[in-house]
């Protein structure tokens, strides 16, 4: 098992923060596996600790609840999204991100976690706030980076008023609805048609 430092060791610099990335990785991997295997109801803190090989105290020092743990697991997966290293056009950047995002949403652990969190947040305003702050808002970095790239290539001008929040909502909302609500695959034709629609609203 992964244990905390022995008593008498140096005190943590910031109370409640993870002190072992090895334990963190094991816990998040266990949470994703349980979400994939047992669904939202199958995710319990006790089972996560057992599967990760850590003490419950180790788990609760990092994440106080199932919701916090699921948010962390989702955020970690979404943080793997990035624009292509050799993106040459705004269209190529958007198409690549849409494909990657759709592939993530198709994973059972991501689908289960997101739908479970959203369902529970309908009666929990604090949870909605955490989802927005820790899952949604950080991914707007992709829109900011894509906009900066497009401006540097001259595809859009610095005078173009591109609403980052609106662009994010259009892209992320459409892909989430298509994959999770409509339960349709992100076929090549669909990705290309959707990208054409988005680009037509961004490029003069």
pTM of the model: 0.84
What is the pLDDT at residue 16?
A: 47
| Mean pLDDT estimate for the chain | 88
Encoded tokens for 145: 């980076």
112 close to 36: Cβ distance less than 8 angstroms: yes
Left, alpha or beta for 84 (phi > 0: left; psi -120 to 50: alpha)? beta
Flag whether pLDDT at 83 surpasses 50. yes
Which pLDDT band holds residue 88 (cuts at 50, 70, 90)? confident
CB within 8 Å of 61: residues ≥ 6 apart: 4, 16, 18
Cβ neighbors of 13 (< 8 A, separation 6 or more) are none
Half-sphere exposure of 56 (CA within 13 A, CB side): 6
- The yes-or-no verdict on residue 159 having pLDDT over 60 is yes
Q: Domains (ranges, CATH) in the chain?
A: 1-64 (1.10.10.60), 75-202 (1.10.357.10)
Per-residue pLDDT reduced to its tens digit, 34-62: 999 999 998 999 999 999 999 999 999 99
Alpha carbon distances (Å) from 78 to 19, 46, 105, 164, 199: 23, 25, 9, 18, 23
Write out pLDDT tens, residues 133-145: 999 999 999 999 9
Report residue 19's pLDDT band, with 50, 70 and 90 as the boundaries: low
Task: Place 158 in a pLDDT band, splitting at 50, 70 and 90.
Answer: low
* pLDDT category of residue 97 using cuts at 50, 70 and 90: very high
């Amino acid at each position: 098992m992964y244990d905390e430092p022995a008593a008498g060791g140096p005190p943590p610099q910031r109370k409640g923060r993870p002190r072992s990335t090895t334990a963190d990785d094991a816990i998040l991997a266990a949470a994703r596996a349980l979400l994939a295997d047992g669904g939202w109801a199958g995710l319990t803190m006790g089972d996560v600790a057992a599967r990760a090989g850590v003490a419950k105290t180790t788990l609760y020092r990092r994440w106080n609840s199932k919701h916090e743990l699921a948010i962390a697991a989702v955020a970690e997966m979404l943080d793997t999204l990035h624009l292509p290293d050799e993106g040459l056009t705004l269209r190529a950047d958007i198409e690549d991100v849409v494909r990657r995002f759709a592939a993530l949403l198709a994973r059972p652990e991501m689908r289960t976690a997101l739908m479970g969190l959203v369902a529970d947040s309908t009666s929990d305003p604090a949870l909605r706030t955490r989802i927005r702050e820790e899952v949604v808002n950080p991914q707007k970095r992709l829109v900011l980076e894509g906009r900066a790239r497009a401006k540097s290539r001259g595809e859009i001008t610095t005078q173009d008023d591109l609403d980052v929040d609106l662009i994010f909502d259009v892209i992320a909302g459409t892909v989430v609805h298509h994959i999770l609500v409509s339960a349709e695959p992100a076929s090549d034709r669909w990705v290309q048609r959707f990208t054409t629609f988005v680009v037509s609203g961004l490029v003069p």
